[in-house]
Amino acid sequence: MKWLAGCVVLVAIAAFGVAIYVVLDNRDPVPGDIAACTRREGLSAVRSRDGLAAMREDVLAGTVTVTRRWDWGKTKGALLGGPRDDYAVLVLWNVGTPSLAAARSARRVYERPADFPLVVIESESRALIACAQSA
């Protein structure tokens, strides 16, 4: 009977250790920090194509470019801009989301913005760049 109690204690300790590992390993503050910064700036996250209407024509024409990239370890970011510099889009992605490292990144963002941890559009890129640099 003592060995059974010992096994129960050992399993409980192992489960607790795994839980701590999962919580600490999966903690990635970057998306939350940047989202909080963009909210403070009065910008809101985009979850559908409707929110990205300003970039629709440029995406279809293929003229949206990646103007800047960030790498924070688990999370990566890209700043997309149109040919007339009339808007900027900050997009975050990680292992569980589609990559924006390849071509057609603007089309991926436009077609399915909800797939990414954060997509924010701004008429000028000042606040977006400041938020990304503060992470």
Q: Closest Cα to residue 41, out of 88, 85, 78? A: 88
Q: Return the pLDDT at 98.
A: 84
Q: Return the pLDDT at 112.
A: 92
Residue 86 lies in a domain: yes
Q: Which residue has the higher pLDDT, 26 or 15?
A: 15
Phi-psi region of 102 (alpha: psi -120 to 50; beta: other; left: phi over 0): beta
Q: Closest Cα to residue 61, out of 106, 122, 91, 101? A: 106
Range list of H helices, 46-103: 56-61
Residue 112 lies in a domain: yes
Give the tens place of pLDDT for each residue, 57-108.
Answer: 999 999 999 999 998 888 889 999 988 888 999 999 888 888 887 778 899 9
Q: How many domains does the chain have?
A: 1
Residue 15 lies in a domain: no
Could you tell me the residue range of the domain that residue 35 belongs to? Answer: 28-134
Phi-psi region of 42 (alpha: psi -120 to 50; beta: other; left: phi over 0): left
Residue 73 lies in a domain: yes
Residue 81 lies in a domain: yes
